Structure 1
Amino acid sequence: MELGMIGLGRMGANMAQRLVRGGHRVVGFDFSADSRVLAGKNGIEPVAALAEAVAALKAPRVLWLMVPAGAPVDSTIENLLPLLSACDTLIDGGNSLYKDTLRRAKLLAEHKIHYVDCGTSGGVWGLQEGYSLMIGGDEQAVQRLQPIFATLAPAADRGWGRVGPVGSGHFTKMIHNGIEYGLMQAYAEGFSILQHKQEFALDLAQIAQIWRHGSVVRSWLLDLTADALGKNPTMHGIAPFVADSGEGRWTLSEAIELGVSTPVIAQSLLERLRSRDKDSFADKLLAAMRNQFGGHEVKKE
């Protein structure tokens, strides 16, 4: 098959490259000239404008959007819409909020353009290992795109699938990322306890390697953790600041709307927010409270 990849950042470029290796023709557009040049070296056909990407594809066209969630997706669709025809398909492979996806699908349906949402997991390893793809959209539209998904996935028969109607792919990926927050926090807390038991002089990288085989807590995330600990056992040079992409917040918001208790995901998100407070007023006030009622010592800055 052939398709246009809109957005040639690291993940978009890697996905396009995997498709090219799988025998697909990929026309790529990015606002960055450097990204287009690099894409051209990996078998992708770079173009300098959205109109050129659309013109280079045979109808019905398939265009895969790998642009940041939110306004960039809306503006890209706005610019593409006059260039597209009925029966063309747009795939949003980014981390869009599923409610935005439902809104965009309704708009495109008025123009008889298919909108498919594909929650994509795999990160920087996807080019080598394949991507986990959670797909939402019209069943026939998804079926027509099967060769693309089968190429991007770890194998043609696993790691991908249509999970439901439009919006369900991004919803599923949102929950996937919420779970990821909790898993990461649990590993981080466990290894922190091990690290603080100074009298045992534990080798955290060794323990991670032991847990990778036969343990009930083994996972790919643990594999990556073991690799990180092996390279930098003390986490030297890494600031204790943890960002969030927004999907953990969305997951928690959805849980509240649905009345579902998610204490682990909620706490993991709060811990990320806490990591960014280098001058915590709350902690200072706690110390002051202890001094007020118990005369406990207050450490000075």
Structure 2
Amino acid sequence: MELGMIGLGKMGGNMAERLRLAGHKVVGFDFSADAVKKLNDAGSVGVSSLEDLVKNLQAPRAIWIMVPAGDPVDETIAKLKPFMQKGDIFIDGGNSNYKDSQRRHEALKQEGFGFVDVGTSGGIWGITEGYSMMIGGDEDVVERLRPIFETLAPAADQGWGRVGPAGAGHFVKMVHNGIEYGMMQAYAEGFSIMKAKTPLALDLTQISEIWRYGSVVRSWLLDLTADALKKNPTLDGLEAFVPDSGEGRWTVFEAIDLNVSAPVITESLIRRLRSREDNNFTDRMLSTMRNEFGGHAVKKS
């Protein structure tokens, strides 16, 4: 099957290569000339414009968009539409807000286009491990894309599926990433507690390896943590600055709207926000209040 790919960064480029190796024709576009050249050198077709991307695909076309959430997705779709025709499919494989995906699906369907939202997990490892794909959209449109999903997934019948109508794919991926926030926070806190128990001189790298096998807390995330500790056991040179890409916030907002208690995910998001605060004002306020009501000592810089 043929597929257009817009956005040839680490994840998009790896997805294109996995498809090529399975025999699919991939036509890719990126603003980075180096990324386009890399795609051409690998044996796929790299082009320098969206018009050329569409021209190199037979109708009905399917174009996978891997650009940042928000306006870039709308802008990309708007630029593509003049070159496309009814029956062509837009696939948003990024981390868009599910409400945007619902809006785009409705608008494009009225114009005769298909739209599928694919919440995609797998990162840079997907080229070898396969990608987990949570898909939202009309059943017939998703079915047309089955060969693509079966190739990108860990196995043809594993790691992917249509989870519901338009927006459902990105909604499920949003919750997936919220859970990921909580898991990462729990691992980080646990390893911090062990590091602080200096009299026991615990080897965190060794412990992470022990936990990887047979333990109820084993996971791929722990595998990656163990690899990171092998490379840098003391995390030298790293700043305690943790960004968030939006999905954790959206998960917390949805939990509030739905009256669902989600304290772990919420606190893990708050901890990420706090990691970015230099000379944290909240903690300084706590310190001065303790001093005022109890005369407790205050550390001054």
Q: Same fold (TM over 0.5)?
A: yes
CA distance in 1, matches of 2:161, 2:42: 27
Q: 3-state DSSP class of the match of 2:135?
A: strand
Partner of 1:257: 257
Aligned length: 301
CA distance in 2, matches of 1:7, 1:111: 24
Partner of 1:4: 4
Structure 1, residues 173-222: CA drift from partner, whole Å, max 9, x if none?
00000000000000000000000000000000111111111111010001
Q: 3-state DSSP class of the match of 2:42?
A: coil
CA distance in 2, matches of 1:99, 1:279: 37
Amino acid at match of 2:214: G
Q: 3-state DSSP class of the match of 1:87?
A: coil
Partner of 1:75: 75
CA distance in 2, matches of 1:29, 1:68: 15
Task: Indicate whether 1:108 and 2:103 are aligned.
Answer: no
Q: Report matched runs for 1:1-301 at 5 Å.
A: 1-301=1-301
Structure 1, residues 28-87: CA drift from partner, whole Å, max 9, x if none?
001111111111122220111001101111110010001111110010011111111111
CA distance in 2, matches of 1:239, 1:95: 25
Amino acid at match of 2:136: G
CA distance in 1, matches of 2:138, 2:110: 15
Q: 3-state DSSP class of the match of 1:46?
A: strand
CA distance in 1, matches of 2:220, 2:118: 22
Structure 1, residues 106-163: CA drift from partner, whole Å, max 9, x if none?
1101111000010000001001111001111111111111110000001111011111
CA distance in 2, matches of 1:165, 1:134: 11
Q: Give the CA deviation at 1:100.
A: 0.3
Q: 3-state DSSP class of the match of 1:5?
A: strand
CA distance in 1, matches of 2:222, 2:72: 34
Q: Give the CA deviation at 1:291.
A: 1.3
Aligned-pair Cα RMSD in Å: 0.7
Amino acid at match of 1:177: N
TM-score for both structures, normalised by structure 1: 0.99
Unpaired segments ≥5 residues, structure 2: none
Runs of 4+ in 1 over 6 A off after TM superposition: none
Q: Give the CA deviation at 1:257.
A: 0.8
Unpaired segments ≥5 residues, structure 1: none
Structure 1, residues 239-293: CA drift from partner, whole Å, max 9, x if none?
0000000000000001111110000000000000000001211111211111112
CA distance in 2, matches of 1:90, 1:176: 23
